Amino acid sequence: MVEITESLKPLTLKKQSSENFDRNAGLKFLTNIAGVTSVFNKEFETRPEFRPLNEMGPSELLPRLETDIAYISSLLSVDPPPLSVPCQEYIEFLISLPDTSPYRFLSHCYVFFKDWSVSKTTLLTNFRAHLRLVNKMKSAFYDPDCQNLEYVLNMLASGWTRSQKDEFLNEMPVAYKALSDSLLVPFL
């Protein structure tokens, strides 16, 4: 039986946090998103149990994020920043997860790609306006990564046992919390 006991409460952005979110913070945010995306892509490429996810096609998200990072870096005349400490900790957790539970790892992967796919256009449009960027964010454009991931996960899940499916589903609240703690909370 799958139980989801709590959901994420909407994160509030205070006026001071909004004013502090400048181009450098925006660059760090995109760098963190790219860091997490690269972990998922690397695991798809290197682990045989994730081979179908690698075969779904190349990720379009990561090259677009890298283009946006290069654009903002060139505006600021800086190198891309290192990952934030919470993001590094989340990445270390993600890297260790497939060894203990590939189903929990896939749950984190699904939550990340689904949330990014659903929110990226609005988020990056507002992000661009707030930071007064001229160019549109390439990452805001449609990419098939999430849809392809959903199709392949459905195919893989058809061979899972009930307990494996429960493990995947029960990890979702943990994935939402970890994702917001590592990628969003540092900027609030």
Residue 5 in any domain: the answer is no
pLDDT of residue 5: 46
pLDDT in tens, the chain (188 residues): 444 444 444 545 566 666 777 888 889 999 999 999 999 999 999 999 888 988 887 678 899 999 999 999 999 999 999 999 999 999 999 999 999 999 999 999 999 998 888 888 888 888 888 888 888 889 888 878 888 889 999 999 999 999 999 999 999 999 999 998 888 766 66
29 and 119 in contact (C-beta within 8 Å)?
no
Residue 91 in any domain: the answer is yes
**Distance in angstroms (rounded) separating the CA atoms of residues 109 and 97:** 11
pLDDT of residue 116: 86
175 and 107 in contact (C-beta within 8 Å)?
yes
Residue 6 in any domain: the answer is no
Count of beta carbons in the 10 Å neighbourhood of residue 107: 23
Which domain, by its residues, includes 100? 20-187
Angle at 53 between CA 51 and CA 59, to 5 degrees: 125
**Which CATH number does the domain housing residue 66 bear?**
1.20.910.10
125 and 46 in contact (C-beta within 8 Å)?
no
pLDDT of residue 12: 58
Total domains present in the chain: 1
Tell me the pTM: 0.86
Count of beta carbons in the 10 Å neighbourhood of residue 122: 10
Residue 8 in any domain: the answer is no
Residue 12 in any domain: the answer is no
Element (H, E) at 91: helix 85-100
